[in-house]
Amino acid sequence: MGNKFRLSEIAEKIGAVLSGDDAEVDGIAAIEEALPGQVTFLSNPKYAACVRDTKAAAVIAKDPMPGAKCAFLLAPNPYYAFARTVELFHPQERPEPGVSPMAVVHTGATLGKNVSIGPFTVVEDGAVVGDRAILMAGVYVGKRASVGEDSLIYPRVTLYHEVHVGKRAILHSGCVIGSDGFGFAPYEKGFLKIPQVGIVEIDDDVEIGANTTIDRATLGVTRIGRGTKLDNLIQVGHNVSIGSDTVIASQTGISGSCKVGSRVMIGGQVGLSGHIEIGDGVMLGAKSGVGSSISTKESQVWSGIPAIPHKTWLRVAMLMASLPELFRRVKRLETGKSASEEE
């Protein structure tokens, strides 16, 4: 049987206010699919009409809705309250502490208390694994690398030598952290590889999606700040610095030596050229191509290729469909021909 709670218990645990009957519930579901005895949530106004028809016992929302037949769990940030509620019904399962007999742990490695190390995991000489850290099957932790307390490393993550992961980090399957930066010196016979001798530092509470790659610095540090969240399939180049509480969506590519500030939001498939800076709080729309530095003082939201302030980009996008006709008009003005003569 799953977890069961009274709505008043949930309200107390997530910091909400109960409005309506204090029913017992045993699950959470999307607003269109929720059944009696379940909780749902409303954070997007476009689903507001569904509240009156929902079968759920309660809706997590900012304000109650007149005419609804359910109770409400009122919270100033419904999406955050929803996340807390999901945790109640689906607590994370942790493997038992211990080292699998099929793991390889070098005698020069240091393991903290109550760590869990899965089969076929390799922990090299000088590596440090903090208390209660979890390394699932097939993880590789290179020489002098470290994994902080309470971090969760999913299967097949590769941490090269001298990669440092902070506390409570989550790294999803297929991450490669600390691979060589893309550095080559051209000369008469081709390209000479530049040794990449820097490190990678990932701060506390960072989450990195599946198959994301973060290159080590040529010299110095590639750094990911506290609380930053990276989606799947992101490329972070050498010597990049990303601030705290920044979120970056899938398939974004960040070229070497970029500096991305704190609380930045970057949409999917954005490209950043090398050696530029993105100021704190900037938002970059999906597929933006950023070739020069952006300061928060100029505009907070940017879009397009090349990236320009979002409001300007919207006007440009609206005009694009009219460009063929505008071109024909200009051509007629230049030639002195009428539309019928052109035909």
Instruction: Classify burial at 214, counting beta carbons within 10 Å of its beta carbon; exposed 0-12, middle 13-18, buried 19 or more.
Output: buried
pLDDT profile of the chain (343 residues), mean per 10: 87 96 95 93 85 93 90 95 95 93 98 98 98 98 98 98 98 98 96 97 98 98 98 98 98 98 98 97 97 86 95 89 86 74 57
* Catalytic residue check, 238: yes
Does CATH place domain 98-315 in 2.160.10.10? Answer: yes
The pLDDT of residue 1: 47
CATH topology of domain 5-89: 3.40.1390
Structure tokens that stand for 204 in this block: 């506390």
Element (H, E) at 187: strand 184-187
Domain boundaries, the chain: 5-89, 98-315
Q: Between the CA of residue 68 and those of 32, 59, 61, 63, 77, what are the distances in Å?
A: 14, 10, 12, 12, 20
- Please tell me the predicted confidence (pLDDT) of residue 2: 66
What pLDDT does 3 receive?
Answer: 85
- Identify the active-site residue in 90, 106, 161, 238: 238
Listed in sequence order, the DSSP H helices in the chain are 7-14, 78-89, 310-320, 323-335, 339-342
DSSP letter at 162 equals T
Taking the C-alpha atoms of residue 35 and residue 118, their distance in angstroms, rounded to an integer, is 38
What pTM, to 2 d.p., does this model score?
0.90
Paired sense of beta strands 308-309 and 301-303, if any: antiparallel
Per-position DSSP letters for 234-249, written without gaps between them: -EE-TT-EE-TT-EE-
Query: Which residue is it, tokens 């990678």?
Result: 200
User: Looking at residue 340, what is its pLDDT?
Assistant: 60
CATH topology of 5-89 equal to that of 98-315? Answer: no
Report helix angle 7-14 to 78-89, nearest 10: 120
